[in-house]
Structure formats: C-alpha cells, structure tokens
Structure 1
Amino acid sequence: MATLAAAISAGPAAPAPAARRRRRGCAAVSCGSSSAADERQALFSRIAPVYDHLNDVLSLGQHRTWKRICVSWSRARRGDRVLDLCCGSGDLAFLLSQKVGLDGQVMAVDFSSQQLQTAASRQDQRWKPCYKNIKWIEGDALDLPFTDCYFDAVTVGYGLRNVVDKPKAMREIFRVLKPGSRASILDFNKSSSLFTTSLQSWMIDNVVVPLASGYGLTEEYKYLKSSILHYLTEKELEELAKEAGFSAAKHYELGGGLMGDLVATR
C-alpha cells in the first residue's frame, strides 16, 4: 500500500442492508477486524493526505514504473472485470481502468475510508472517460464481498504485507479469480541479500522516517521497517500462493531487489 513512503460469472454478493452506506462515491462494506487490523487501518488513514506526495519523493517517481509492471503482469485486458485489492489512493485502479476500458469494470477495495476518499477525489481531478468504470469499496481483504470466480485479474499494491492473516487473504484472492486468471502482487522485497537488506534499512532510517517526520508522521513510518522484517521472502510468497491453490507462482525482483512482484496463476 505504499512505496518507499510506506514502503480482488455472477454478480458480487450484496452486503447486508444495515451495512450498506455511501461515502463520497465509495461503497462501504461492514467487516469484522482484529485490534491489529484496526491499528493498521488507523495508520493508513493518518498518512492518506500526504501518501502520494511521499511516494513520489521517496521513490524518485519509480513507484509509477513498478505499478505499471504490476498491472501489465496481471494480464488485464479490454472488457475484463478486475479487482484492485488494498487500493490505497488508487494508482493501480486508474491503470487498470485504462487497460479494461469503458467495456470493463474495476472494483477497488480498501479498508481505509480516508484512502478511498482520497482516491475518489483524484478520480474527479484526473478525469478520463474510462474512470467511470471504477467502483470504490470499503471492505475487508479477508472477507471479500464477491462471489467465486468473479474476476479476470487481481492486483495488490503494497497491501498483502499489511494484512493480518496472509494465508486467508491469498485464499480469498484465489476464490474470486476465474480459472486461468492471474493475481499480480507488488510490495517491498524481503531480500536474502545482506547488501540489499542493509540498504533498505538504511534508507528507511535515514531518508523515509526523517522526511515523514516533517509531516508529523514519524511513528507511522517507523512501522515500515518492522512490517518488512515480518513479511515473507520470495520463496515463502511462492509457497503461500501454491498452498492457497494457485497452479503456478513466481516472484520477480524489481528496483534493484528493493521491490518484488508475485505473479500467481489460478
């Protein structure tokens, strides 16, 4: 859900009437959360106002290239119905929208209402005709409000690392994908290289956190280091996907090994 800044054949199941509400163009889906999930939800709501600016500054704009690669590897095509899970402020959703066109549909899901409000406002500011195919949905990655085999492609940008139950999230991604379709999951790479790990740690301590402190977000961005430490390695991510049922899974390093993208085929 961040780069070096904080570096999902039938219709969707309708949420219960009591859970249905509208927030500035975003549909909200009620979902149960653990205290850890609540803390992460609050964290991403706090960083939402400066999220995009910090992404640009801290990655020198490279996060845009990594996100284009992620979308390309999802194999989303014109007319497809696709999911951007943990959509944040919408970068991948906007790219997917351009891929699937006016005949396609993009469901953009996140658990942070503030991030979704930011995404909806960006949609208004950067309007293109195809962007009307995006639906912003507040929801839970562990309990997606869609029926089985609903999507032609799924992307996740900097989100799986922050999910409390990663195996369950991967099973949900598998469930909602059509057979033969792909999930493309972009995030920080937990490298086995001591040099890459040391460089990553140095950048967080000496670049990311000091810059974030200028926005009063020191503690929020200190979280990044521990989240990478507790994330999964390349092999562990591939095993996670296969255990969820995917027929094939391959993790690719990006950004000199600082980033990675897991491509899993149902």
Structure 2
Amino acid sequence: MVSDRIRILFNRIAPVYDQLNTWLSLGQHRIWKQMAVKWSGATVGDSCLDVCCGSGDLALLLAEQVGLPGHVTGLDFATAQLAIAAQRAQARYPKPPLTWLEGDALALPFPDNHFDAITMGYGLRNVTDIPGSLKELYRVLKPSAKAAILDFHRPSNAQIRTLQQWYLEAIVVPAAKQFGLTEEYAYIAPSLDRFPTGTEQITLARQAGFATATHYPIAGGTMGVLVVMKG
C-alpha cells in the first residue's frame, strides 16, 4: 500500500531528518513553523494537536505557546520519528506538556470538537486522501477553532518554479545521497507535482466544511500555509 511505503520512508529518514531539513532550508524551516503556530491561534491553556508531527518541531513550538496550563498531542504513524520527538521533549526543562501518539491522519483517534488549535507540517502532501484528512481535521476541531497547515507550494511564477525544481534535483537529492537516502528525498518533486495548489487547497477545505480558508504563500511561493477555521 502507498501509506505503508510512506511510513517506511519516514521511519528510515528519522535519524537525519532534523539535521538535513535544517541544512537544506538554511534554518528557515523553523521560521515557517513558527508562522504556522502563530496562524493556528493557539494560546496559553489550549489543548492542541500536531498531526504528522514527525520529530516534534511543531509540537514543541505549540507546547511553548500553550504553556504548562495547556497540552499538546503530537500524532504520527512513523514510530522512529515519534521516538526522536519523545527524546527531544525529555531533554527540555521544564518538561513540556506533550503526549506522543502513533496514529493515522485519516482516522484521528479523538472525539468530535476536541481541540482548540491544530497544526500540520509537511503532512498533507503525503496522506493518501487529502479531502479525507481535511475532514478529519474539521471533525476534531472545536467550533471557531483554527488549523494551520504548512507544506511545499508550487509557485505561480515560472522562474521561481524552475528554480525550485533545480534546487530539489541539484541540491536536495545529492545531499540526501550522502546519507544513503537518495530514494527517500527524490520523492519530494513528484509528490509536489501531485499536490493541490493554494487555490485548490482552499476549495478542498471549503468542501470539507471549513467556514473560512486562506492560503498564504511564503518563501517566495515555494512554501505555503493553509489556514482554516471551523464555523
């Protein structure tokens, strides 16, 4: 199954995931994730969810935002990524209000209207059913709550799009090759070709039931954050 292949992929890249992402983005991915947390509307004391949490970057930022009175659940289907996330959280002091959970973005193990805010970083592009994933986010959000979804974006500017393709092929894949992960990172370009544009994501979000949906292109249009609110 496609989902099984993706799970294997993310388990394999887990040991170098943070290091490689930081190097390839020149550290900018942390800024983009902070933007997503801000746009999620999470505040002190909130109960939040980070879907496809990977090694825990967004979940840890959310935990800082909600503080000790709040709580954050980081969910992912890759156990190797969750293990690294748990190690990172354990090294923090005071211990952040976090729970790590293995689970499926297409069948979130939570009741309806449960969370005050949700984030999702580089996960929507990898689920096998994007409309289904958006419907699950809608279901578990409380009324008037927001979700912020960060991912790659296909720039509308042809020159920037060409630059993005060159960067993925000439920089990202060779860098991953040094870690024996050529195949794992070569998947980004074709996955991006299949990924809905910002305008298409807005349409899908409205179809999922969200009252408002706005897509913010960032990093010259090579990244984007979809911000949605439940009515």
1:59 partner letter: S
1:92 aligned residue: 58
- Alpha-carbon distance in structure 2 between the residues aligned to 1:211 and 1:46: 16
Paired residue secondary structure (2:187): helix
C-alpha deviation, 1:167, in angstroms: 0.4
- Alpha-carbon distance in structure 2 between the residues aligned to 1:165 and 1:190: 19
Q: Deviations for 1:182-205, whole angstroms, at most 9, x for unmatched residues?
A: 000000012222112111110011
Alignment map for 1:168-187 (pairs within 5 Å): 168-187=132-151
2:23 partner letter: V
TM-score (structure 2 length as normaliser): 0.98
- Please tell me whether residue 141 in structure 1 is matched to residue 78 in structure 2: no
1:167 partner letter: P
Whether the aligned pair in 1 keeps the contact of 2:120 and 2:150 (CA below 8 Å) is: yes
Unaligned runs of 5+ in 1: 1-34
Whether the aligned pair in 2 keeps the contact of 1:192 and 1:233 (CA below 8 Å) is: no
Whether the aligned pair in 2 keeps the contact of 1:191 and 1:257 (CA below 8 Å) is: yes
- Alpha-carbon distance in structure 2 between the residues aligned to 1:219 and 1:130: 36
- Alpha-carbon distance in structure 2 between the residues aligned to 1:243 and 1:97: 30
1:155 aligned residue: 119
2:165 aligned residue: 201
Q: Percent identity?
A: 51
- Alpha-carbon distance in structure 2 between the residues aligned to 1:47 and 1:242: 34
Q: Relative CO higher for 1 or 2, CA cutoff 8 Å, sep ≥ 6?
A: 1
- Residue correspondences, number: 230
- Please tell me whether residue 118 in structure 1 is matched to residue 84 in structure 2: yes
Unaligned runs of 5+ in 2: none
1:251 partner letter: H
2:22 aligned residue: 56
Q: Deviations for 1:135-175, whole angstroms, at most 9, x for unmatched residues?
A: 00000000000000000000000000000000000000000
1:28 aligned residue: none
Query: For the aligned residues, what is the CA RMSD?
Result: 0.7
TM-score (structure 1 length as normaliser): 0.85
Q: Deviations for 1:211-261, whole angstroms, at most 9, x for unmatched residues?
A: 100000011111011110110101100001100000000000111111000
